[in-house]
Each structure stands twice: as C-alpha cells, then as structure tokens.
Amino acid sequence: AQKVTQAQTEISVVEKEDVTLDCVYETRDTTYYLFWYKQPPSGELVFLIRRNSFDEQNEISGRYSWNFQKSTSSFNFTITASQVVDSAVYFCALSGRNQGGKLIFGQGTELSVKP
C-alpha cells in the first residue's frame, strides 16, 4: 500500500527564518512520483514541484528547495527566509506507476509565518 506521512501538523516561525517541512513516503513501486502542493487560506491547491523516483537531484526554485532521498524515503521541502505570504498548508503527495495516477496525500503541515 502507498502512504505519505507528514509528521509535523503545525509549524510556526518568524519571518526570515528558514523552515523545513518533512515528508516520508511508503510504496512498493520502483517507479513513482512525488509532489508538493500549497493550500493557502483561500483554499485552492497550488502545484509546487514534481519529482520522479529515478531523479534524486535536489532542486532549488528561488527561496524554495527540495531534498529527495530514496535511501530514507523522504522528500523534504525547505523555505529559506520565510515570508508571511508563505503561510499555508503544505501537502506532500505520491503517485505510483499505475497509469490512472491517483495522488495519495499526506496529512499536510500548516505553516504559520509571523511578522
């Protein structure tokens, strides 16, 4: 069975602090795909990044970076110099090689960035 665990339910930081959101996954598939989505207070789900299981290269996009480690089944997300606008719920999700491609979401981490 596939499973995504985001152990941090809530994180609160002060603006300009760095913060890392943890994501651990379980799957028997050898090919799988990992995603991060942001859900701001307005409620929509905004795609942030996708990672294929065969590509362990870390990625940086502005203040956002992702660390994918197959050895520990983790796909962690770091925000550098956090801003108030980063306040949202962040979801990690997993899709297996099944062509249907359903997403299995973690419980989400609510990030609160205070001024």
Classify each residue of 54-77 as buried b or exposed e, where b means 16 or more C-beta atoms within 10 Å of its C-beta.
Answer: eeeeeeeeeebbbbbeeeebbbbb
Q: Which residue lies nearer to other proteins by CB, 17 or 50? A: 50
Other beta carbons less than 10 A from residue 46's beta carbon: 12
CA angle 115, 78, 59 (to 5 degrees): 135
Stretch 50-79 residues interacting with other proteins (CB under 8 A): 50, 52
At its nearest, how many Å lie between other proteins and the CB of residue 80?
24
Stretch that binds other proteins, among 31-39, 56-64, 66-74, 79-87 (CB under 8 A): 31-39
Give contact residues for other proteins (rule: CB under 8 A). 33, 35, 37, 43-47, 50, 52, 91, 93, 95-108
